[in-house]
Amino acid sequence: MGEKILLATQNPGKLREFKALLSDLGEALLSPREVGIRLEVEESGQTYRENAVLKARAFAAASGLMALADDSGLEVDALGGAPGVRSARFAPQPGATDADRRAYLLQRLQGRPQPWRARFRCWIALATPEGALYFGEGTCEGQIIPEERGQGGFGYDPIFLLEERGVTMAELTAEEKNRLSHRALAVEAIRPVLRRLLRGEPSAG
Ligand code: IMP
């Protein structure tokens, strides 16, 4: 069996995007479901990078495979950079949905002067079962708008406007989002390392 890379996420939106972004890796790419692993890793780190490492290491240890994790989030200047690393948990009520988190974010922004400058950030960590780590990072600038637009993507996409294009992230096709998103840029940064590792060559990172 050749080298494989396990996608260390249970988030369906992220899984879909990674599968498309890394489609050139073909059968080398596996989802947790395909290897019969289900893990909820506590994101106890203070930074995206730390949380990406926690997830990648946990999945690599559980599977014996190389594991690729992302930790990502939305930073809104008017909220001092919140929700940031807490983006997935940003809502007061337990069991909150993506829609609840968008509504809560807009509630927090009410009364603050627009434009609400913001950016998505993504850190990718790849962990090998032997303990090596590699990284990629990407950022995508935009602004939060008060009304949802578009059906694509996931998370905060319907309220994240890409000013130059005049559309929200959720109004892009999957292909368009995958050309410019924070996750796409982070994947481009780490792609050469993935290629080398899949060829069985050591990588300097
Ligand atoms: P985590 O990386 O699992 O901690 O979760 C990141 C959270 O940030 C997601 O649950 C979304 O709420 C948000 N997020 C990350 N990437 C995106 C994106 O591409 N679009 C919209 N929201 C995102």
What is the per-residue pLDDT across 9-66, written as a single tens digit (0 to 9) for each? 999 999 999 999 999 998 999 999 999 999 999 999 999 999 999 999 999 999 999 9
Q: Is 157 a catalytic residue?
A: no
Predicted structure pTM score: 0.95
**201 exposed, middle or buried (CB, 10 Å; 0-12, 13-18, 19+)?**
exposed
Q: Which ligand 1 atom sits nearest the alpha carbon of residue 51?
A: 4
- Interatomic CA distance for residues 172 and 195, integer angstroms: 28
Residue nearest to ligand 1 atom 17, measured at CA: 155
Write the CB contacts of 111 (distance below 8 Å, at least 6 apart in sequence): none
Q: Does residue 202 register a pLDDT over 80?
A: no
For the segment 147-174, what is each residue's pLDDT rounded down to a tens digit?
999 999 999 999 999 999 999 999 999 9
Q: 12 alpha carbon to ligand 1 midpoint, in Å?
A: 11
CA angle 65, 68, 72 (to 5 degrees): 155
Residue nearest to ligand 1 atom 22, measured at CA: 155
User: What architecture is domain 5-199?
Assistant: Alpha-Beta Complex (3.90)
Domain boundaries, the chain: 5-199
CB 5 within 8 A of CB 15: no
For the segment 173-200, what is each residue's pLDDT rounded down to a tens digit?
999 999 999 999 999 999 999 999 998 8
pLDDT value of residue 201: 83
Res. 1 pLDDT band, cuts 50 70 90: very low
The residues with which 143 forms a beta bridge, in sequence order, are 117, 161
Give the residue, out of 54, 72, 168, with the most ligand 1 atoms within 8 A of its beta carbon, to mutate for a pocket test. Answer: 72
In degrees and rounded to multiples of 5, residue 14 shows phi and psi of -65, -45
Structure tokens at 124: 């990718």
Residue of 24, 71, 77, 100 marked active site:
71
Res. 205 pLDDT band, cuts 50 70 90: low
Q: 13 alpha carbon to ligand 1 midpoint, in Å?
A: 9
Contacts 24+ apart (CB under 8 A), 82-90: 82/108, 85/43, 85/45, 85/46, 85/47, 85/48, 85/51, 87/155, 87/156, 88/43
In degrees and rounded to multiples of 5, residue 115 shows phi and psi of -75, 150
pLDDT value of residue 2: 66
Q: Does residue 110 register a pLDDT over 80?
A: yes
Which residues surround ligand 1 with Cβ inside 6 Å?
11, 43, 71-74, 87-88, 120, 153-157, 169, 181, 183
